Structure 1
Amino acid sequence: MTIEQLKYIVEIGKTGSLKAAADQLHITLPALSQSIKQLEKELNIPIFHRSRRGSIPTEEGRRLIEKAQVVLLKLQDFMDEVETYTETMNGEIKVATYPGPMEILVRVITELKREYPNVKASVYENSTEFIIDRVLEGEVDVGFITYTEKEEKRYRNLVFKKLVDGHMVAAVNKHSPLAKETLITQDMLIGQPIVLYNDKYIQEFMKGFSSLPFDILFTTNNVDTIRLALETNTAINIGFDYAFRTDAGLSRSDEYVLVNFAPPYYKTYSFGYFYNANNGLSRVIREFLKRVRSVIVD
């Protein structure tokens, strides 16, 4: 039995597929399959039920996978302890974020890599739903999103850490009549062309106005497209206030203003990061998160 084989069965347990696990582990499917067969032969225990629908752990396999996860976390703790005795830091940071903190995250990673050149990093930008799925599947170590208690209760195996509170706002061109308003009411949205970032939680917020005849011009995952629509007074945008304060393209434009919603639509959200409790956090990721917190909170 090898450490690699423990990593293999944990990954197969996550994905439910030998092929998907092989892709994640960056090895060939035949090599992975052969390694698992050798492990099952060595242990004299079938770890997975194999079928056209995938590879599902047996009852014994499920328990072994849980033990393997504990072993791998202990191994990571051991490696982290070793690194504390040296001035080096290794490892990989895989982060996913919704629009807003991207510039901050990239700056922190750049500074970290300057100090520790061996650190590898990947940063992805997408919707909240996409980010949660990637963290659950183990493809991403840490996700940065805006969330509520509903997400914390729903995803019990995810650990959420709040950085700041925020709320939903309407962004309008500075020449729009809405720019003079103190608060936005639902009636003010009637007839207004609206562009939305393609995010499940923004869409859920909009359902609170479902009785109104909305003019949704389009949805997009491109922040620059949203900025252009605002600057040309083509449409208004509804989104999280934190994205407008931190996103490089949005925060540096003075062509639009943010207006809060009137009650009961002024709702508070938490912005922060989350990770899979089953995977833990390596030393390099903990250092990365500490630096992000110092920039955003301290």
Structure 2
Amino acid sequence: MGVYMNIEQIRYIVEIAKVESITKAAKNLHVSASAVSQSILQLEKNINFKLFIRLKSKTIPSEEGRVVIDLASKVLEQIEKLEQSIKIQNNSIKNELKIVCVPGITYIVTESILKFKNDYPDIDVHVQEVDPTEIVHFIKTDHPDIALLPATEQTLSQESDILYEWLCSTQLCILVGKTSPFYHYDEVTPEDLQNEQLVIYKMNSFVDFHRLIFNKNKFLFISSNSDNIRSAVKNGIAIALARNITLKNDVDVLNGSIKIIPLITKSTYISNEFWAVCLRQKQFSNSANNFITYLKTNL
């Protein structure tokens, strides 16, 4: 009777050999270390020899394992070529790209879309803003090609039916106008801002988020109009909370009318990682991967 090895096991042994760690391999493949370990133990039982030598500091291929892993690497390369070919065929009949993102990053997403459309004019791009607390559920129900959101890797790893790609680290900041007393600060704390008025994007999770950090501050107004918020900041009427990537290349930031100042806080409520996410069964389309490349150049 022949030995059966599934594609996931092939991925596991190749990745473990590469990083010399079951834990690191599991993290890279977005699965639990226990699942990888159990799968490898079962495979070793089936083939009647050890693929790896488990040392204290690392896990390395055995002499017999090295032969198997070399062949598995070649098989995996062909599998990935096949997957890419299928993905390209799927994309050849698809001429649209659906993107969802959390409010506050629409500017930099739009900037990336303009560059993307310049090279791919025949692809229709649709963008929708979704509340951060609802976006993972939205991915599962509406199946966008890409979802862009801040999150911790720990939170994303608990969702077994999604794939995610790290885009960048972000920092929570405040936006101030030239007349603000904080304009020349290099960084601020929530305590520094106790007497300042805030303008906030109209979304329940955003309002709750602001109250968590600025529980003593007054809200000047809450609006779903980004231009109103920008105007209030630019004219020195109020400050706004944003991530450092939000208006990174904006003309008002570049000419000094608005300044982005890092906010120093230890709140665990804040996520500093920014991700591209999609359904695992759908995977990132060729268009989605191309768009992610454009987005990364703007971050």
Q: TM-score, normalised by structure 2?
A: 0.60
Tell me if structure 1 keeps the 8 A contact 2:113–2:291: no
TM-fit CA distance, 1:250? 5.5
Aligned AA for 1:277? R
Q: 1:109 corresponds to which residue?
A: 116
Report the 3-state secondary structure (helix = DSSP H, G, I; strand = E; otherwise coil) of the residue aligned with 2:195. Answer: coil
Residues 106 and 152 from structure 1, CA distance in 2 versus in 1: closer, same or farther, beyond 3 angstroms?
same
Structure 1 residues 56-83: Cα deviation after superposition (integer angstroms, max 9, x where no partner): xxxxxxxxxxxxxxxxxxx997654547
Residues 81 and 257 from structure 1, CA distance in 2 versus in 1: closer, same or farther, beyond 3 angstroms?
closer
Consecutive unaligned residues of structure 1, counting only runs of 5 or more, are 1-74
How many correspondences in the alignment?
Answer: 214
Residues 177 and 241 from structure 1, CA distance in 2 versus in 1: closer, same or farther, beyond 3 angstroms?
same
TM-fit CA distance, 1:208? 4.1
Q: 1:82-97 maps to which residues of 2 (within 5 A)?
A: 82=89, 90-97=94-101
Aligned AA for 2:168? V
Q: 2:238 corresponds to which residue?
A: 235
Q: Distance in 2 between matches of 1:91 and 1:164?
A: 28
Aligned AA for 2:138? R
Consecutive unaligned residues of structure 2, counting only runs of 5 or more, are 1-81
1:269 aligns with 2:265: no
Q: 1:278 corresponds to which residue?
A: 281
Residues 207 and 157 from structure 1, CA distance in 2 versus in 1: closer, same or farther, beyond 3 angstroms?
farther
Q: 1:161 corresponds to which residue?
A: 165
Report the 3-state secondary structure (helix = DSSP H, G, I; strand = E; otherwise coil) of the residue aligned with 2:97. Answer: strand
Q: 2:180 corresponds to which residue?
A: 176
Residues 287 and 257 from structure 1, CA distance in 2 versus in 1: closer, same or farther, beyond 3 angstroms?
closer
Tell me if structure 1 keeps the 8 A contact 2:197–2:218: yes
Report the 3-state secondary structure (helix = DSSP H, G, I; strand = E; otherwise coil) of the residue aligned with 1:292. Answer: helix
Residues 207 and 275 from structure 1, CA distance in 2 versus in 1: closer, same or farther, beyond 3 angstroms?
same
- CA RMSD of the aligned region, Å? 3.2
Report the 3-state secondary structure (helix = DSSP H, G, I; strand = E; otherwise coil) of the residue aligned with 2:136. Answer: helix
Q: Distance in 2 between matches of 1:253 and 1:176?
A: 16
1:148 aligns with 2:138: no
Structure 1 residues 249-279: Cα deviation after superposition (integer angstroms, max 9, x where no partner): 6645622222222343596611231111122
Q: 1:197 corresponds to which residue?
A: 201
Tell me if structure 2 keeps the 8 A contact 1:77–1:282: no
Residues 83 and 146 from structure 1, CA distance in 2 versus in 1: closer, same or farther, beyond 3 angstroms?
closer
Q: TM-score, normalised by structure 1?
A: 0.60
